[in-house]
Homo-oligomer: A and B are copies of this chain.
């Protein structure tokens, strides 16, 4: 409210493919609007099918019910044609809010993917310039890139703390901190919070000898769908039953954060667009990089077992579980697929399965 009163502009974002540097160069706050709560799903289901994923329903529900101030105060929402559910939900969201759609290529390997995605970044920049009567300069883009690069390095530093044995933080604390920062009203705030979080955790662990995680906790890698809506239901269960989430291979995980942008590129907008196309997501075909990365992270983080999360209704990650489970089996890595939503109906079953999985490790 304060921010808006002072004339601040908010762009709602829903995907790691959204080039936030363009928004930030436009002087806007880029805020994550991905729904992580069951609360608005019954309302959303009056419009959307019950069978689509809880993240999509929750997100739309917050817009429909006006229960999320960030959605309500968004001056524009940036959607993207990642999965079918989101792509079509945005058509209905567009009846409530101003939505700009980024069209992603269907695969990274087609010869024109890079050029097409650059065109999309140009279209987004021009749409913002027209809507808000502004000019987004190369200088502003370059400054935004520098800040985001630094913020991403911090995020990688944060993730890397979990390589320690035992890890420096509980997974749940790290995930809640990261989630809170998707609502930071500026990259400067985000950076300050991250620096403090890292400094505090390192001081406690390295200087004060604190060990928030038991040395015999089983080290879990999470992959698959975004797990922001499952922090209590899944991550807390893992960590209360003898496990610890040491890393994630998903859209806000280490790998995505590790891609930086060439700050000195002649065409800075092109450098931005190139960065985003590196992200691995199951909406791309093929998406073999995800399997390789998971193996790499298992080694780096000394992972004991992999939990592959499928939000109910997510076809792309669900189909990829077939190959992921095969790759894990070939490499003798304990693996569990967990298909669930934000509701509590299956909580007992999930607890039992997670408990059994960790016990088996």
What is the CA–CA distance of A30 and B163 in the complex, to the nearest angstrom? Answer: 54
Among A47, A85, A107, A285, find the residue whose CB has the most chain B CB atoms closer than 10 A.
A285
Interface 0/1 of A180-201, CB less than 8 Å to B:
0000000000000000000000
Could you tell me which residues of chain A, from 37 to 90, have a CB within 8 Å of some CB in chain B?
A: 47-49, 51-52, 81, 83-85, 87-90
Closest B residue to A321 using CB positions: B49
Which residues in window 306-361 of A have CB below 8 A to B?
312-313, 315-316, 318-323
CB contacts (< 8 Å) of A319 on chain B: these are 48-49, 52, 85, 88-89, 91-92
What number of A residues sit within 8 Å (CB to CB) of B? 41
Q: How far is the CB of A342 from chain B (nearest CB, A)?
A: 17
| Residue in chain B with minimal CB distance to A89 | B319
A48-B322, A49-B318, A322-B48 known; A286 and B91 CB under 8 Å? yes
B52 and A315 contacting across the interface, CB-CB below 8 Å = yes
Residues of chain B lying within 8 A (CB to CB) of residue A111: 119, 123
Q: Given that A51-B313, A85-B319 are contacting pairs, would A103 and B103 also be in contact in the complex, using a CB cutoff of 8 Å?
A: no
| Bound: A43/B91 CA distance, A | 36
A276: min CB distance to chain B, Å: 16
A137 is an interface residue with CB less than 8 A from chain B: no
Q: Which residue of B lies closest to A317 (CB)?
A: B88
